[in-house]
Amino acid sequence: MRFSVGDSSLVLSRPDVRGDSVIGLCKSVHPHRWAGVRGDQIREMEIHSARGTTRGKIVAATIVASGVAIAVLAALSSSSKGIP
Q: How many CB atoms lie within 10 A of CB 8?
A: 7
| Domain identity same for 57 and 23 | no
Q: Tell me the average confidence (pLDDT) per consecutive run of 10 residues in the chain, 84 residues long.
A: 82 85 85 86 77 74 81 77 57
| Domain identity same for 56 and 82 | yes
Residue 9 belongs to what domain range? Answer: 2-46
The predicted structure's pLDDT at residue 82: 56
Strands (E), the chain: 2-5, 8-11, 13-18, 21-26, 33-38, 42-46
| Domain identity same for 42 and 58 | no
Instruction: Give the type of residue at 79.
Output: S
| Domain identity same for 29 and 15 | yes
Number of domains in the chain: 2
Q: How far apart are CA 79 and CA 77, in angstroms?
A: 6
pTM for this prediction = 0.50
pLDDT in tens, 23-42: 888 888 788 889 888 888 88
